[in-house]
Structure 1
Amino acid sequence: MSTNKPNALSRRAFIRNSSIAGGGMVIGFNLFQACKPKVIAEPAIDLASLDYNDFNAFIKIADNGAVTIFSPNPEIGQGVKTSMPMIIAEELDVAWKDVCVEQGILDTENYQRQVAGGSQSIRFGWDALRQTGAKAKHMLVSAAAARWGVNPSECSVSEGVITNAAGETLGYGDVVNEAALLEVPEEVPLKEPSEYKIMGKDASNVDINKIVTGKPLFGLDYKTDGMVYAAVLRPPAFGKKLVSYDDSEARAMSGVIDVVSIGEKVRGLLAEDPSFGSKISSSDKVVVIAESTWQAMKAKEAIKAIWEDDSKVESTEEHDKILNDLLDGNKFETMRSDGNVKKAFAEADEILERTYESPFLPHNCMEPMNFFANVTDEKVHLVGPIQTPAWKAGLVSKMLGREEKDIHLEMTRMGGGFGRRLYGDFVIEAAEISDKIRKPVKVVYSREDDMEDGIYRMAIKYRIKAGIKDGKITGYYLKEAAVNSNMYGLIPNFFPAGAIENYQVDAANYESNITTGAWRAPYTNFLAYAEQSFFDELAELMNVDKIQLRLDLLDNVKPEEDERIQYSPERMKEVIKTAVEKSGWGTKSKDVYQGFVNYYCHNTHVAEVADVEIENGEPVVKKITCVVDCGIVVNPMGALNQIEGGVIDGVGHSMYGELQFKDGRPTANNFDGYRLIRMKEAPIVETHFIQNDLSPTGLGEPTLPPAGGAIANAFKAATGNRLYKQPFTKTPELLKVPEKEIIG
């Protein structure tokens, strides 16, 4: 919730060593430290002499009143390139239609957390972004007041026009040069939500015209003079390494410039910091350099390489047995333990225990992995789609033995990220190739490269056990067994933590050479389905109402007594009750079967209800009612897009998504072998927001995890069968409606 605080600017201090140019001024702020005390003001900068590559944490205002706002965080389709500038523009008090938005570059001096991940961009930037706009407005008003010889408190602002008590007006452009000389105040008052004119109103994606007209925005669009293209021949399976290769045929092909191998510098990087090993292959790779992507890819196919086993070469069947053994064994790490679950189970009247299984999943971004690098003696120039630019710049700095100040990284819009572009092995490849050939080069993956050499969502199994005594849940034990999870798949302090007296969460891990990592809504994308399906089954066993069971458990939660609890039981109860009301829970016709889920992740509370109908003897998802408490909604249009996309992604992958491995290699390498949800299968998504004035939380991920559980519970209502494995189509016999019910 926004709060008004006293004006901290006690004097008008002038920066005397700045000169004014007629072209207007740039006012610079540190977006992520603007709220902190004793911030050193950036000096005013002459627009004519500004080097845009050197500093990007600013609002640019020209003397004609034009306003440019730079968006600092990576844009992967989650809308921050629109919503972050909206927050600044709101407090700056300019007309949104008159704002130009540009993507900022990596700037670790002026920005913190330039990351697209965890649905945290708006949450982390909220206060600082507002202060940035408010401080600029304060300086502009102070400059106008000084010209008029009045007190700034006598002035008002609307859409970039300052008005005094006498009715005189000045535009921001009229006073920007004087304003640029003023000291940046430490803290200024912020608007109350009731005063918002931009936030809370629909705003189209700032890039939409360029997207629909095909203007260059994405990494694949980037071109520069003298640039060549690289296609990389990587190991054909996880656990293989390069022995030798014959490139004679490839070198003779049209457009081929060179064939080189890479890997030496990466091995040095791994030796320095082995933690990178699960994300970067240590095997040598063969690289074709050509005049075009197509020529490079075709020549890559002509290379005759010999590979040998470097380590274990694994298959899905082995993983399945290993994970079962882990669940049955005692090699685990306890993540949270309340009370005594063993005693609770020993004293229980009834015990319910179930195991839930999920497969590996690829990310399959629409835009395959790609990146540009140009390594010279002066600097390392990197351009492309990356979710963690600072992390990648640091890795490149280490690999090349260069100062981080020599790394200049520009972010492009991304055609999807979903966690795959957190890791940036493709950035490392591009930098190593450019360093070797000393040319500007772009590495481009084919779809097959993308799926065969991915960083996948790990395969996971959950075993959940609950004890019931005198009609109450007295014990709850959740155990995870995962491939390469490193405790990555569990959230021990989310619901039902704090709701059950005897509660324990354990994790067991199997280390594989198959690269794994974050996949959209990490930790929770599968766990939500497992736990919420389990609660439905518990309610049936206990013969109690499914909704009331959840509400009763939430009544037990006391966050004020347990600082580990991350969710709000009151906010959760509100989304539950609203979802019951908005979905018509329990009031639909007998032809509609419903499934309910509530969940908290990425700081956001969500409840979803799935409506399923029977068609040709099988249940079909028709509608998802989604209720979201994400605090203040900055851009409702963008928020709806994220919510609907998350729900449909959750439905699609729980129904169809699966990647298996045979001898260390994925069994599917393109969309002809990997099933995604289709347009005709996408349900209607009806969204409702809980209105409040609390600070915004995440939206890119929180609606995906509950979707699988909602449809699984609805399928149970329709077929009588419980689903314990994803994808649900892997057990088609459980999706069949009994014939007598169809006839009935």
Structure 2
Amino acid sequence: MRTSSLAGGGMLIGFNLFQACKPSVKPPIDLSNLDYNDFNAFIKIANNGAVTIFSPNPEIGQGVKTAMPMIIAEELEVAWKNVFVKQGILDTKYYTRQVAGGSQSIRHGWDALRQTGATAKQMLVNAAALRWGVDANDCKVSEGVITSPTGDTLGYGEVVNEAALLEVPEEVSLKETKDYTIIGTETVNVDIDGIITGKPLFGLDYTKEGMVFAAVVRPPAFGQKLKSFDYSEARKIPGVIDVIKIGKKVQGLLEADPSFGSKISPSDKIAVIAKSTWQAMKAKNVIKAEWEDDTFMESTADHDKKLTDLLDGTQWENRRKDGDVNKAFKEADTVIERTYESPFLPHNCMEPMNFFADVTASKVHLVGPIQTPEWKAGLVAKMLEREPEDILLEMTRMGGGFGRRLYGDFVLEAAEISDAIGKPVKLVYSREDDMSAGVYRPAIKYRIKAAIKDGQLTGYHLKEAAINDNMYGLIPNFFPAGAIANYQVDTANYQSNITTGAWRAPYTNFLAYAEQSFFDELAEAMNVDKVQFRIDLLKKVQPEKDERIQYDPDRMIAVIKKAVEKSGWGQQPKGVFQGFANYYCHNTHVAEVADVVIENGKPVVKKVTCVVDCGIVVNPMGALNQIEGGVIDGIGHSMYGDLAFEGGMPKASNYDRYRLIRMKEAPKVEVHLMQNEHSPTGLGEPTLPPAGGAVANALKAATGQRIYKQPFAKYPELLKIIEEPIIG
């Protein structure tokens, strides 16, 4: 890919030929003979009118590789059928926030991407106007064709060479929402043909001539370090090239940047290099390694005790304090206190961790699936003591991320191996590597205490006890912040040698279940309608007087009312038990209603009605995929997700012992999108957190039992769930 800088720089216009993936269809454009002009880092336009748009952010299945170019194309005024999309590389000069995390890609890119398309369009119109000798304001554009006041026409390709030489306009007009022709339309994923025909799009697909493969032996338990190893048998396996010890460079990086410590093991590791992945993995399995305990080998029982001790202790960090909760509790007619518990969770991406690295004297070439390319390129540069400009990082499509690919320990390993052997190398994790050497969602406990006085909620105290950094569990300014006069949020944590980090919908994936279940219990104690109870609280919020409040109470009330309407709340036939939850996270407001029935003596989630306010929907088809996926993922992990540890070792390393939701267990998800003209917000994560709360509240209606721990299916005495046997 070629880029050029312009005065005012920072934009790129380009073309992508995704339809060429169809073997029975000839590409409409001969890419080898195109004469491109680079407008900026996003857009390229050829002299025949072809348009390529580069998508700057990592694609993990959330659809940004389709949606971000749609935004540019809308303002560029080109026909989507004539647009080709390509994945951009890491480019810190022309792109900003090349990150897939927090459901923020579209939200942060919305204004800049529209400006990019509109600026390029204006330059093309200005060029045509100069040729005609007319005022550019009198020209019109439709699908890449510029029309003069007298009816003359010029295609973008006819003026692209002249336009590229013009000054970049500082101010341009953006389209009104009512005039959109691309944004808001059902648009097929630009990679779909390649995905279903097996084209090399993912990190595991990447190859390069002369490349070798690596597999790594890591400590079997967290808290261990390598003492010695015997690789004599491994070297006898055909195809094995070398066996080396790695880890010193990563340890040096950890010393320089201790904040990365909870995300990667500090132990030395053993890398096997071979001519194929299979040969490397076979050899890895016969290496005789001796490990010694470095720190305490924690088990699930240890975590449980430490979290409980934190909840019962006094070492707290205050996150928000309104009024006086202690006074509210002393004066209360009723005080309700509940504790909610969650386990560790692995990420279980469909595509295991992998990365390509080629470290040479002139450059470091990195290719693979990563959610934070700039961060990882910077860490590799530090680790290898190279200049940042020495690093070339290309992003591939990812077979899932969910937060695991934020951290990129596998990128560092690949780079260290390539540097040591002087060859291009592809590092590949097995499924067992992926699950047992992960960066997990930390186990967390919440304790919520509420005061009720004269039929009103007068006090609310939320405590979080978490493992490692507690930034992954709590947002103090989300609902019900601002709705209760006496409101306090405190956190505490302890450090574990088990690596932990963000897991899909961090901060909220478990908290939403805890709070929404607690709200239902409060409403029952106060003998008020559960939904109206939430609405009444929201009506008390005054965000204009409290800038800390992050949610919009009016938008939240609207999604609640829509969910009540669309789900038939309270009007279902006998035998259908409903549970309600609403939540705000990742800048999006969501309300969900779960329908549960009893079949063969056990509760079954049959349907979830989901109402979402995410502002303008760029691609409704992509939005539906994200919403449905988030709901089902939220239900599945609330019901079944559980990773226990014994002596620092995960008790599950593959799907024979780790329970995921099955296809037959996935409920129908009915989606309703609120229509408004607010700027777009996140969609990849917001529908996951309330799903667990809606299901828990529906299970209470069906069984009469409240659940205070996840996964729900672990407590058959509460749910009367008959688990299907798991092999082993």
TM-score bracket, normalised by the shorter chain, equals over 0.9
Counterpart Cα distance in 2 of 1:448 and 1:42: 43
Distance verdict in 2 for CA 1:274–1:247, change over 3 Å: same
Question: Which of 46, 55, 75 is equivalent to 1:71?
Answer: 55
Unmatched 5+ residue regions in structure 1?
A: 1-24, 30-37, 738-744
Aligned residues of 1:26 and 1:180 also touching (Cα < 8 A) = no
Counterpart Cα distance in 2 of 1:256 and 1:730: 44
Q: What displacement does 1:39 show?
A: 3.8
How is 1:349-368 mapped onto 2 (pairs within 5 angstroms)?
Answer: 349-368=333-352
**Alignment deviations for residues 610-656 of structure 1 (CA, whole Å, 9 cap, x no partner):** 01111011111000000000000000000000000000000000000
Partner of 2:555: 571
Aligned residues of 1:575 and 1:607 also touching (Cα < 8 A) = yes
Partner of 1:324: 308
**Alignment deviations for residues 4-37 of structure 1 (CA, whole Å, 9 cap, x no partner):** xxxxxxxxxxxxxxxxxxxxx98868xxxxxxxx
- 1:395 to 2:384 alignment: no
Partner of 2:218: 234
- 1:413 to 2:402 alignment: no
Distance verdict in 2 for CA 1:148–1:429, change over 3 Å: same
Aligned residue identity for 2:303: H
Question: Which of 583, 600, 606 is equivalent to 1:599?
Answer: 583
Partner of 1:723: 707
Distance verdict in 2 for CA 1:353–1:51, change over 3 Å: farther
Aligned residues of 1:26 and 1:60 also touching (Cα < 8 A) = no
Question: Which of 103, 108, 111 is equivalent to 1:124?
Answer: 108
- 1:290 to 2:307 alignment: no
Aligned residues of 1:27 and 1:136 also touching (Cα < 8 A) = no
How is 1:484-563 mapped onto 2 (pairs within 5 angstroms)?
Answer: 484-563=468-547
Counterpart Cα distance in 2 of 1:43 and 1:213: 29
Counterpart Cα distance in 1 of 2:118 and 2:607: 42
Q: What displacement does 1:291 show?
A: 0.1
Partner of 1:210: 194
Aligned residue identity for 2:563: A
**Alignment deviations for residues 361-389 of structure 1 (CA, whole Å, 9 cap, x no partner):** 00000000000000000000000000000
Counterpart Cα distance in 1 of 2:392 and 2:369: 14
Aligned residues of 1:336 and 1:492 also touching (Cα < 8 A) = yes
Counterpart Cα distance in 2 of 1:184 and 1:48: 28
Counterpart Cα distance in 2 of 1:518 and 1:367: 18
**Alignment deviations for residues 44-95 of structure 1 (CA, whole Å, 9 cap, x no partner):** 99x999999x998130100111000000000000000000000000000000
Q: What displacement does 1:165 show?
A: 2.1
Distance verdict in 2 for CA 1:125–1:28, change over 3 Å: farther
**Alignment deviations for residues 131-166 of structure 1 (CA, whole Å, 9 cap, x no partner):** 000001101111111111111122111110111222
**Alignment deviations for residues 199-220 of structure 1 (CA, whole Å, 9 cap, x no partner):** 0000000000000000000000
Counterpart Cα distance in 2 of 1:487 and 1:689: 30
Partner of 2:248: 264
Secondary structure in 1 matching 2:617: coil
Aligned residue identity for 2:534: R
Partner of 2:572: 588
Secondary structure in 1 matching 2:471: coil
Aligned residues of 1:28 and 1:43 also touching (Cα < 8 A) = no
Aligned residues of 1:487 and 1:509 also touching (Cα < 8 A) = no
Counterpart Cα distance in 2 of 1:316 and 1:50: 60
Distance verdict in 2 for CA 1:44–1:552, change over 3 Å: closer
- 1:629 to 2:613 alignment: yes
Aligned residues of 1:598 and 1:608 also touching (Cα < 8 A) = yes
- 1:460 to 2:444 alignment: yes
Partner of 1:431: 415
**Alignment deviations for residues 225-275 of structure 1 (CA, whole Å, 9 cap, x no partner):** 000000000001000000000000101110000000001111211111211
Question: Which of 593, 601, 604 is equivalent to 1:617?
Answer: 601
Question: Which of 284, 292, 295 is equivalent to 1:311?
Answer: 295
Secondary structure in 1 matching 2:472: coil
Counterpart Cα distance in 2 of 1:91 and 1:612: 45
Percent sequence identity over matched residues? 76
Distance verdict in 2 for CA 1:186–1:48, change over 3 Å: farther
Distance verdict in 2 for CA 1:44–1:504, change over 3 Å: closer
How is 1:12-51 mapped onto 2 (pairs within 5 angstroms)?
Answer: 39-40=8-9
Partner of 1:84: 68
Moved more, 648-657 or 275-284: 275-284
Counterpart Cα distance in 1 of 2:166 and 2:716: 69
Partner of 1:142: 126
Question: Which of 134, 148, 172 is equivalent to 1:164?
Answer: 148
Structure 1 stretches of 4+ moved >6 Å:
25-29, 41-45, 47-52
Aligned residue identity for 1:421: R
Counterpart Cα distance in 2 of 1:43 and 1:80: 17
- 1:104 to 2:85 alignment: no
Aligned residues of 2:13 and 2:43 also touching (Cα < 8 A) = no
Distance verdict in 2 for CA 1:378–1:98, change over 3 Å: same
Instruction: Supply the RMSD in Å over aligned alpha carbons.
Output: 1.9
Distance verdict in 2 for CA 1:682–1:282, change over 3 Å: same
Q: What displacement does 1:297 show?
A: 0.2
Partner of 2:646: 662
**Aligned residue pairs: how many?**
704
**Alignment deviations for residues 269-312 of structure 1 (CA, whole Å, 9 cap, x no partner):** 11112111111221110110000000000000110010000111
Aligned residues of 1:230 and 1:287 also touching (Cα < 8 A) = yes
**Alignment deviations for residues 407-460 of structure 1 (CA, whole Å, 9 cap, x no partner):** 000000000000000000000000000000010001000000000000000000
Aligned residues of 2:213 and 2:428 also touching (Cα < 8 A) = yes
Partner of 1:8: none
Partner of 2:687: 703
Question: Which of 347, 350, 366 is equivalent to 1:382?
Answer: 366
Counterpart Cα distance in 1 of 2:269 and 2:318: 40
Aligned residues of 1:494 and 1:566 also touching (Cα < 8 A) = yes
Aligned residues of 2:13 and 2:44 also touching (Cα < 8 A) = no
Moved more, 194-203 or 140-149: 140-149
Aligned residue identity for 1:293: T
Partner of 2:430: 446
Secondary structure in 2 matching 1:559: coil
Aligned residues of 2:331 and 2:453 also touching (Cα < 8 A) = yes
Q: What displacement does 1:487 show?
A: 3.3
**Alignment deviations for residues 442-486 of structure 1 (CA, whole Å, 9 cap, x no partner):** 100000000000000000010100000000000000001111133
Secondary structure in 2 matching 1:560: coil
Question: Which of 659, 680, 684 is equivalent to 2:668?
Answer: 684
- 1:255 to 2:236 alignment: no
Aligned residue identity for 2:61: G
Counterpart Cα distance in 2 of 1:397 and 1:515: 23
Partner of 1:733: 717
Aligned residues of 1:26 and 1:58 also touching (Cα < 8 A) = no
Counterpart Cα distance in 1 of 2:258 and 2:539: 46
Aligned residues of 1:270 and 1:277 also touching (Cα < 8 A) = yes
Partner of 1:115: 99
- 1:713 to 2:659 alignment: no
Counterpart Cα distance in 2 of 1:327 and 1:625: 35
